[in-house]
């Protein structure tokens, strides 16, 4: 059985609360304790640090998956590079203009990471730690909040 604080942390992050006092149940003794605001802030900082790894060196422009990509639902997404950061904007579909990736940076392992990813099916204020990986004409995009993740694969349609 997972600890109560994990579910509370997910809920708090998903609704945009940031630092909160979270109840935690000790499974072995049945004692309920309170996570302090400092502890909640520390946990949030650890999550942010995972998305802030140092950028890779090398030719960022050649590594960028720039072009038009097709989502499984039929949306077309324009992937662009601005100031060595990756942006993904829906250009055709239900949410034209919606920016899914915002300022992702290239890492040494060839992935693009950032903490301002959004999903068109979620409220606009919600952001996620995201990862974009490319393998030929296939782009995998994944967003996570705590340990709850969602991903999808896009297909390249233009150069």
Of 46, 3, 48, 50, whose CA–CA distance to 22 is shortest? 3
Q: pLDDT at position 121, please?
A: 85
Name 131's bridge partners.
Answer: 113, 142
Stated pTM of the model: 0.61
For the chain, the domains span 4-50, 60-156
Q: pLDDT at position 122, please?
A: 84
Position with higher pLDDT, 140 vs 59: 140
Q: Which CATH code for domain 60-156?
A: 2.40.128
Q: How far is CA 26 from CA 7, 8, 12, 44, 127, in A?
A: 14, 14, 20, 21, 30
Q: pLDDT at position 58, please?
A: 47
Q: Contact, 38 vs 52, CB < 8 A?
A: no
Q: pLDDT at position 37, please?
A: 60
140 has a pLDDT exceeding 80: yes
Mean pLDDT, all residues of the chain: 73
Q: Contact, 77 vs 68, CB < 8 A?
A: yes
> Is residue 99 classed as helix, strand or coil in its secondary structure?
strand
């Amino acid at each position: 059985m997972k600890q109560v604080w994990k579910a509370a942390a997910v809920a708090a992050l998903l609704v945009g609360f940031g630092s909160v006092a979270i109840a935690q149940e000790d499974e072995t003794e049945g004692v309920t304790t309170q996570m302090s605001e400092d502890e909640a802030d520390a946990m949030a900082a650890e999550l942010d640090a995972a998305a802030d790894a140092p950028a890779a060196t090398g030719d960022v422009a050649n590594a960028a998956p720039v072009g038009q990509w097709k989502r499984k639902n039929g949306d077309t997404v324009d992937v662009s590079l601005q100031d060595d950061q990756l942006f993904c904007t829906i250009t055709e579909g239900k949410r034209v203009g919606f920016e899914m990736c915002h300022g992702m940076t290239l890492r040494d392992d060839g992935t693009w990471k950032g903490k301002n990813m959004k999903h068109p099916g979620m409220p606009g204020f919600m952001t996620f730690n995201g990862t974009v990986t490319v393998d030929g004409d296939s782009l995998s995009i994944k967003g996570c909040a705590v340990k709850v993740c969602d991903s999808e694969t896009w297909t390249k349609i233009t150069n």
